[in-house]
Amino acid sequence: MNETFHSKIILFGEYSMIFDSTALMIPFRHFKAEWKMNPLLDGPGALASNKSIRKFMQYLADDPELSMHFDLQHLDADLGQGLFLDSDVPSGYGLGSSGTLTAAVFKRYALRPMDDLMELKRILGRMESCFHGSSSGIDPLQCYLKRPFRIGPEGVTLLPEDFLPSDIHVFLVDTGVKSNTKPLVQYFKEKRNDPAYLDAFQTEYVPCVKACIDQLVAGEKEDFFASLRQLTNGQLKFLRPMITDNNIDLFLERPDFPIGFKISGSGGGGYVLGFTEDVAQAQAFLREETVVWMD
């Protein structure tokens, strides 16, 4: 009952993975969720969580493909006994609040496990679409696997927990604004209908994302920060609505030490993701921001 499901971070690939490009995911153990029982549902958030899961259960029951994968009678009985998901993963921050719930439901109530990770991703995405209207499935897959991984057309490659270079430090800057994924995803879908935008995105932006991933995993620090700077420019060009106005300066300023920023999750609020090799200079640069450093 007390298995923990952690939040996640998409380091790279939020939008480019729609084009079967590469994405890079890591667990973010700063936030977590776990199943609990409270028959009275009188604890903080217990009743709201129980009601939310009931709606999710009905969504699964109404989908013929999904319903066949789950013991929904068991889930319904547990909800009647006061089941809820005790979570401190902030909603609207791109850290996987719906991903943790989706992964937790699959882990506890799926009739059988899935060894095919790409098929598992597809099913988890179909499940999580309950919350976003559309989901790639990589958020709940990360929450389910609890391991860093790289995903692309070739499939899922699990990475060591310590794959990040020790001299590249990752942090999150709080925008102070909650993100609403649906309109951002809809905006991007509409932009993809523009042939000029689509061609430029695929030829300029997607290769830059892959370069950032390849260089970060390989520990090529100098090349990585150069590619990250290009990626920041690419997000200003192609994904401007996903960057909040109160944090646009982070994307426009060019400090004289290696540091770079990008949206996290769908963008539009939540956290901005940052990378640096110099923690002291980064802390000075960000002294007026609310920052969470990765362990």
CATH of the domain at 289: 3.30.70.890
In a domain, 138, yes or no: yes
Q: What is the mean pLDDT of residues 4-20?
A: 89
What percent of the chain clears pLDDT 70, i.e. is strictly above it? Answer: 99
pLDDT class of 196 with cuts at 50, 70, 90? very high
pLDDT computed for residue 178 by the predictor: 86
206 and 139 in a single domain? The answer is: no
In a domain, 11, yes or no: yes
In a domain, 163, yes or no: no
257 and 200 in a single domain? The answer is: yes
Overall size of the chain counted in residues: 295
Final residue belonging to a domain, choices 109, 134, 158: 158
pLDDT computed for residue 184 by the predictor: 86
Q: Among 53, 107, 40, 125, which residue's Cα sits nearest to residue 84?
A: 53
pLDDT class of 229 with cuts at 50, 70, 90? very high
Model confidence over 76-108: pLDDT tens digits?
Answer: 999 999 999 999 998 888 888 999 999 999 999
Q: How far apart are CA 170 and CA 121, in angstroms?
A: 26
SS (H, E, C) 8-47: EEEEECCCHHHHCCCEEEEEEEEEEEEEEECCCCCCCCHH
pLDDT at 155 over 80: yes
**Residue 10 sits in a domain of what CATH number?**
3.30.230.10
Dihedral sign computed on CA atoms, order 104, 108, 111, 114: positive
135 and 175 in a single domain? The answer is: no
120 and 155 in contact (C-beta within 8 Å)?
no
pLDDT computed for residue 260 by the predictor: 95
180 and 86 in a single domain? The answer is: no
Model confidence over 256-280: pLDDT tens digits?
Answer: 999 999 998 888 888 999 999 999 9
Q: What is the mean pLDDT of residues 175-184?
A: 84
In a domain, 191, yes or no: yes
176 and 133 in a single domain? The answer is: no
154 and 173 in a single domain? The answer is: no
Final residue belonging to a domain, choices 117, 138, 158: 158
pLDDT class of 74 with cuts at 50, 70, 90? very high
8 and 27 in a single domain? The answer is: yes
139 and 276 in a single domain? The answer is: no
pLDDT computed for residue 154 by the predictor: 86
Six-digit token string for 103 = 């992964």
Q: What is the mean pLDDT of residues 141-165?
A: 93
269 and 129 in a single domain? The answer is: no
In a domain, 184, yes or no: yes
154 and 244 in a single domain? The answer is: no
pLDDT computed for residue 3 by the predictor: 87
137 and 248 in a single domain? The answer is: no
pLDDT computed for residue 1 by the predictor: 58
Final residue belonging to a domain, choices 95, 124, 158: 158
88 and 17 in a single domain? The answer is: yes
Domain limits for position 220? 169-293
Model confidence over 13-52: pLDDT tens digits?
Answer: 988 887 778 999 999 999 999 999 999 998 888 999 999 9
pLDDT class of 179 with cuts at 50, 70, 90? confident
In a domain, 164, yes or no: no
Q: Distance between alpha carbon 291 and the CA centroid of its chain, in Å? A: 18
Lowest mean pLDDT segment, chosen from 127-131, 175-179, 212-216:
175-179
How many folded domains does the chain comprise?
Answer: 2
Q: What is the mean pLDDT of residues 4-10?
A: 94
In a domain, 258, yes or no: yes
What is the rounded average pLDDT for all residues in the chain?
92
Rg value, the chain, Cα: 19
